[in-house]
A and B are shown apart, each in its own frame.
Chain A
């Protein structure tokens, strides 16, 4: 299956790139098999994600899914964000070749990391900010 135009657009013009000052939740996951890494930075308050940013290293699908998930979760409640599944990410990028499905799974795992392991997540967010200075 060839990449769709939306998919390629997310790779060439990724949305919401990088960390930002108000980020208070942080998630990172690495696919142990291929080394692809996704980092998410979120500003969460009163049960809602107000802003999201990402960094990604890996195949185009990892970049496209990272970009897509930041769009999907912005202004969503935590509950709705946690309900995002692979199909929703795939639809957002105009479809993912089946051999690249793991990239959508990585995006969801990273989001869950950022939202559900809050203590660690906040500590990492502080470190990440120090790092980016």
Chain B
């Protein structure tokens, strides 16, 4: 097959294409039904009613009440509002936050910023399987802990964290007198891929991004449990019950609502489809490429994602090779201005720089097919081979293996 004739998108953890049914639902709200949802007249009320309908759909997807859903611009804003909003609200009760070493940069960034402002942050390790341990959460708790923020599933390796266990622990601690402890989870990667229910998770706040759910970019939501207060980070308007000022993006909210409805109805089908493709892909890679390491727990992980470190080579070079043959993937590592920034997530698993640099994330979506997997399995081994052929690390390893006593024994 000629390079460029087939394009295979395997980067659904970065973003998803907007579902045509979702596009169709949102289109009338650009020009025909353009009202401001805060206006009292007909145009405004028409917009208000669809915003509230979408809110019910999003609430229904996560088992929440509609008034517990705050619309905002996306996952990053949701994480900012949740963490900084709780930290500022509970300032007089304590300044200690517990998080993990593998959070998304938007959680990491807010925690780092709060740390610089005087909060104390405990960043829990994840061990080789990429999963936080409940006993570590328990032993990190202090009387002045106001917030635990641990993601539901990791964006690079897909590992599912023990969020409902942490939720139960939080309830237990609250019942024993530490009433002000709050629990937030970033569910951006998990939503639409596994069932998410705020009651069984026991979280007080939960972040969602619509564009991981076949809706457009620029819209998301924060679940804020009834009775939980967050200090607004966007002020100057009464929208979203004073929790997020700014005119609602009605077309995007409508799209989000429709995408949430479809995700709820099609969840089982989508999960089964992507996990089948992912498993076929992984067994195909294992039989075609040597010297690879899978990153993260192989069972407690999202069904659509596979993270593999290819030894002796670097991720971005492999990404370019694959891109030139029509396959879109992503890598967590980057080398910038001569200093290496290997993926903090892969490093947190205890992997060395070489493995952290050689990691590639393949993330499948509902529209991928078995032909897509076959195409990737055709081009990936060649791309890896191409880079290894010019890698001094690979040459060294070939010569080391040639010299090893076992090899000599086998040869004779």
Contact = CB atoms under 8 A, between A and B. Distances in A.
Contacts, number: 76
Most buried by A among B313, B338, B391, B393: B338
A36 interface: yes
A19 to B, nearest CB: 8
B316 A59 contact: yes
Contact of A57 (B324, B334, B391, B399): B391
A132 B389 CA distance: 12
Contacts of A28: 392
Contacts of B357: 35
A33 to B, nearest CB: 5
Contact of B340 (A3, A35, A37): A35
A118 interface: no
B390 A33 contact: no
Contacts of B335: 34, 36, 58-59, 61, 100
A59 B391 CA distance: 11
Interface in A96-133: 99-102, 131-132
Interface string B307-345: 000001110110011011000000000111111100000
Contacts of B324: 8, 12
A31 interface: yes
A11 B321 contact: yes
A95 interface: no
Contact of A99 (B323, B336, B393): B336
B233 interface: no
A132 B395 contact: yes
B338 A102 contact: yes
Contacts of B317: 11, 58-60, 63
B393 A33 contact: no
Nearest to B324: A12
A94 interface: no
Interface in A59-76: 59-61, 63, 66
Instruction: Place the interface of chain B in its size category.
Output: 20 to 34
Given A59-B316, A59-B335, A131-B399, A33 B391 contact: no
Interface residues of A, number: 31
A12 B357 CA distance: 18
A14 B321 CA distance: 11
Contacts of B312: 57
A49 to B, nearest CB: 19
B338 A56 contact: no
28 contacts: A8-B320, A8-B324, A12-B320, A12-B321, A12-B324, A17-B389, A17-B390, A33-B340, A34-B339, A35-B353, A35-B354, A36-B335, A37-B392, A39-B392, A54-B390, A55-B392, A55-B395, A56-B391, A57-B314, A58-B314, A59-B317, A60-B316, A60-B320, A61-B335, A99-B336, A100-B335, A131-B396, A132-B399
Given A8-B320, A56-B392, 9 more contacts: A12-B386, A18-B390, A37-B392, A55-B390, A55-B392, A60-B320, A63-B387, A66-B390, A102-B337
